Amino acid sequence: MQQLNTMPKLFNLDAMRAPPRIGNGITGDDIISVDQFDRAKLTYIFRRAEEMREMVLVAGGCDLLRGMVLACLFYEPSTRTSASFIAAMARLGGRIIPITQGVQFSSVSKGESLPDTIRTLEQYADVIVLRHPMEGAAHIASEVATVPIINAGDGAGEHPTQALLDLFTIKEELGHIDGLQITMVGDLRYGRTVHSLTRLLMQYDVNLRYVSPEILRLPMLLMNGLIDQGIEVRETHDVADVISTTDVLYVTRVQKERFSDPEQYEEVKNCYVITPDLMRQAKQNMIVMHPLPRVGEILTSVDSDPRAAYFRQVQNGMYVRMALLAAVLGRA
């Protein structure tokens, strides 16, 4: 023991772990809410995402994050978010600890607390992506973690990386964001992707339309935020009221898992269905988006319509998450 204490320190591990700051204001940060992103940071991430796409199309991948490890900790089901983070890390040459196939196979099923699980994973990983059913979970994790925490959805709270890829998709598809009329449809109350996208759009000069049943209206706090920002907002129960003037139709699933009363879910589950007939009333240069999974809100017969952008949106998710991981880990 004595000998160990007197051995010269070969490496300063803390210094090796601290990512170099590269001036984008994101390096080393937790990503908990979209409120952390001003327009300059968004522009930076989107530019990097475009570069990532070029790189993947030309070379398939690179070594930017070689030697780095991402832990993916998912307490709720996921296909796209988990797979795209894993693909993003893999394409940048990093490695992954995937705890995504049900935390029942981890010590969570033995009763381990979220802070203990986080403090364990940070011993192995340089960054942790967390999805959890409780609103505020990512913030709690960030308070105990010494490595960056990326919020991949905290209950009905936020889903910041989804909103980044949604906004990137709008920009890629339509060329700009200011001046657009954006309509969000479905579960505006529990849909965390709607909450994050709404917050992000507060920074732009857009018109927002919200279509939902009465019980699934956008939370008052967000509505008041929009009004305070001077954004023109309209609420309605009927997609037909707004479809012909819409540039972006953002459709969402009714979030069954957030309902305490199953009967209430049954009442609203099929409230909106986007059909080819409805699409005939829409602009020729509009787009339809959906964070997916869909459970009947958009008929599959709409998929062949060139305005159906939801699978292109999925692909953008990987490029945006590549850009975000590189930024958070300080690798330009």
Decide: is 186 part of the binding site for ligand NCD (CB under 6 A): no
Rounded (10°) angle between helices 39-59 and 310-328: 110
**Residue 81 is a catalytic residue:** yes
Decide: is 80 part of the binding site for ligand NCD (CB under 6 A): yes
What residues pair up with 298 in beta bridges, in sequence order? 274
Query: Considering the complex, what minimum distance in angstroms separates the CB of residue 70 from ligand NCD?
Result: 17
* Amino acid identity for residue 186 in this structure: G
Residue 271, CA atoms < 13 Å, CB-side half-sphere: 27
Contact predicate 121/100, CB 8 Å: no
Among 100, 162, 169, 207, binds ligand NCD (CB under 6 A): 162
Query: Considering the complex, what minimum distance in angstroms separates the CB of residue 148 from ligand NCD?
Result: 19
Among 251, 292, 308, 309, binds ligand NCD (CB under 6 A): 292
For ligand NCD, the closer CB: 96 or 197: 197
Query: Considering the complex, what minimum distance in angstroms separates the CB of residue 6 from ligand NCD?
Result: 52
Query: Considering the complex, what minimum distance in angstroms separates the CB of residue 159 from ligand NCD?
Result: 5
For 286: left if phi > 0, alpha if psi spans -120 to 50, otherwise beta; the answer is beta
Decide: is 291 part of the binding site for ligand NCD (CB under 6 A): yes
Decide: is 91 part of the binding site for ligand NCD (CB under 6 A): no
Decide: is 199 part of the binding site for ligand NCD (CB under 6 A): no
Decide: is 81 part of the binding site for ligand NCD (CB under 6 A): yes
Q: How far apart are CA 324 and CA 65, in angstroms?
A: 12
Of 75, 70, 68, 109, the closest CA to residue 86 belongs to 70
Q: What angle do CA 196, 200, 203 make, to 5 degrees?
A: 160
Query: Considering the complex, what minimum distance in angstroms separates the CB of residue 146 from ligand NCD?
Result: 26
Decide: is 151 part of the binding site for ligand NCD (CB under 6 A): no
Q: How far apart are CA 121 and CA 127, in angstroms?
A: 9
For ligand NCD, the closer CB: 153 or 160: 153
Q: How far apart are CA 257 and CA 92, in angstroms?
A: 34
H or E segment to which residue 184 belongs: strand 181-185
Q: What angle do CA 183, 199, 230 make, to 5 degrees?
A: 75
Q: Name the catalytic one among 6, 9, 110, 300.
A: 110
What residues pair up with 128 in beta bridges, in sequence order? 71, 149
Q: Which of residues 12-71 bind ligand NCD (CB under 6 A)?
A: none
Q: Name the catalytic one among 27, 53, 81, 189.
A: 81
Q: Name the catalytic one among 132, 159, 209, 321.
A: 159
Catalytic residues: 80-81, 110, 131, 159
Which residue ranges make up the site for ligand NCD (CB under 6 A)? 80-81, 153, 159, 162, 192-193, 253, 291-292
